[in-house]
Amino acid sequence: MGGTRVSMTDPAVGALDGLVNLRDLGGVPAEDGVLTRSGVVLRSDAPRNGDRAPEEHAWPPRVVLDLRDAAELNGVAHPLAAEAQVHQIELLAGIHSAEVNHPLPVLYELMLDKAAHKLVRVFRLALEADGPVLVHCAAGKDRTGVVSAMLLSAVGVRRDAIIADYVRTDRNMFRVLQRLEMAPALPPGVTEEDVRDLISTPVEAIEGVLSRFEEHEGAAAGWLAEHGVTEDELSRWRRRFLDETGAES
């Protein structure tokens, strides 16, 4: 689609002065009526300098897991570095680039194959955090989607609930691209809904990840165990991330 890029100083995009793809992974259903605990894991698009603090979440997070590659950062310090412990995990380094551009279902499975040790590191950093963890990449869609699916699946969250969380990003992608200064001006007759159709989160991509996890007993918990995570670590993650106060008796 042609057109000029949206100016970030345009008053029409004033709502872009904060994260637009931010959500808490709490309240997601696992087994036996158990829900994930709020305030443990947040997922989002990339924070920027000058962002307003989100009113609906405790802020700032204690730990930030930035999944972007160094080339995406242009040498700029993370906007939350003064307030949180920031870890950069280059999840796609050596997998995806301008020269090697994989379809999303392939890319997601390559993360499991080529970056398993990085995913284990993400899991352990989330486990050991002493407060809320923010996981993000650029858009909060692909890398963040795979990590979120892993963290949720590792505590037994239902497949349909993980997919539902993943596709929630669809409604936010137009504003994400505006924040990334990638969204073109819309030609007459073209709506934001039309744009969303082009940049949507394909269900089959995350389904492939979940199917890979489900090849193991315990889904992502079994996958993580195969890559060196201990049963003690998995148990501690369940205690940290699951809120059993509302479990069925």
pLDDT in tens, 94-105: 897 766 678 899
The residue ranking higher by pLDDT, 182 or 1, is 182
What b/e sequence results for 51-90 when a residue is b if at least 16 CB atoms lie within 10 Å of its CB, and e otherwise? beebeebebbbebbbbbbbeeeeeeeebbbeeebbbbebb
pLDDT band at 195 (very low <50, low <70, confident <90, very high): low
Residue 7 pLDDT exceeds 80 = no
Residue 156 pLDDT exceeds 80 = yes
Q: What is the mean pLDDT of residues 220-242?
A: 98
Taking only the tens place, the pLDDT of each residue in 57-78 is: 989 999 999 999 998 998 999 9
Q: How far apart are CA 194 and CA 86, in angstroms?
A: 36
Taking only the tens place, the pLDDT of each residue in 126-154 is: 999 999 999 999 999 999 999 999 999 99
The CATH number of 20-241 is 3.90.190.10
pLDDT band at 194 (very low <50, low <70, confident <90, very high): low
Least confident of 41-45, 68-72, 88-92, 186-190: 186-190
Residue 113 pLDDT exceeds 60 = yes
Residue 237 pLDDT exceeds 90 = yes
Residue 190 pLDDT exceeds 90 = no
In the sheet that holds 63-66, the strands lie side by side as: 23-24, 41-44, 133-136, 63-66, 85-88
Residue that has been written with the tokens 């899991």 in this structure = 123
Q: What is the mean pLDDT of residues 208-219?
A: 98
pTM above 0.75, yes or no: yes
